[in-house]
Amino acid sequence: MPYVTVSKENSGDIDLYYEDHGAGDPVVLIHGYPLSGASWEKQVAALLAAGHRVITYDRRGFGKSSQPTTGYNYDTFAEDLHKLVTQIELHDFALVGFSMGGGEVARYLGKYGTKGVSKAVFISSVPPFLLKTHDNPEGVDGSVFEGIQKAVAADRYAFFAEFFKNFYNTDVLLGKRVSEQAVQSSWNIATGASATACLACVPTWYEDFRKDLTHIDVPTLVMQGDADRIVPLAASGLRTSKLIKGARLVVVKDGPHCITWTHAAEVNAELVNFLGEGLAKHATASPQKEAVA
């Protein structure tokens, strides 16, 4: 599949790898850390079967995209996304972000507005603001992120081995909802990412998206597991759903961070239902803001 050039670093182009499949109402899927667009495989199949055009891409530094040493901040990530959707001439598209990918959804809508966007979905996502501050007491202490940065810098391969245990809650779900091979595959993808990106992305997790969320006036779905050990539900999904007027909140019982894999059937049913209904409404009327949760 093709690449889109989004910038340059010295003499080399910075290219994003993307895949564009199917026909119908377009959906852009934005992956989490430290994976790639391939992590959406269970959702891609379901959305294609439901008649959607599905676009996935690898964030700069990850997957098959270029691995520059610059641009690891959400303003640049959102600009990269904007260049992608502009080049492939998307209209009335839905944005779906998982984990770190939810930051792209929030910043894109905060920076470029909702024109051309039919709806938004946040799955286990980092908004609204994960860092504990005087005006954000629900956040996570900064020392947690500092510890992660130190661990990634010291030995990212060892860090990822521990990270994925909590990504999938393997102590509870291994052999039931996730296999050892699936966990190993995630580790393999993560180790192929840029060492610079793996470290530089950690501070972006506590970007303040509260102002961005106030710009969202399209139908929005927020989905997260109540056993998420990576991004606490109380600090993220619950608050995001309250900050976006009319957002629908779906809490997946016993769901870990990566519900897109472990609870794919539930996630896919909600996605197909929400995107189908929302796109049908968008075709006949302006986006509605009333609460549906």
Is 257 one of the annotated active-site residues of the chain?
Answer: yes
Active-site residue, selected from the candidate residues 228, 236, 241, 263: 228
Residue in the block written with tokens 């972006």: 204
Active-site residue, selected from the candidate residues 39, 66, 99, 124: 99
The CA distance from 105 to 125, in Å, is 10
Is 228 one of the annotated active-site residues of the chain?
Answer: yes
| 3-class DSSP string for the chain | CCEEEEEEECCEEEEEEEEEECCCCEEEEECCCCCCHHHHHHHHHHHHHCCCEEEEECCCCCCCCCCCCCCCCHHHHHHHHHHHHHHCCCCCEEEEEECCHHHHHHHHHHHHCCCCEEEEEEECCCCCCCECECCECCCECHHHHHHHHHHHHHHHHHHHHHHHHHHHCHHHHECCCECHHHHHHHHHHHHCCCHHHHHHCHHHHHCCCHHHHCCCCCCEEEEEECCCCCCCHHHCHHHHHHHCCCCEEEEECCCCCCHHHHCHHHHHHHHHHHHHHHHHHHHHCCCCCCCCC
Active-site residue, selected from the candidate residues 15, 65, 241, 257: 257
Is 99 one of the annotated active-site residues of the chain?
Answer: yes
Catalytically active residues are 99, 228, 257
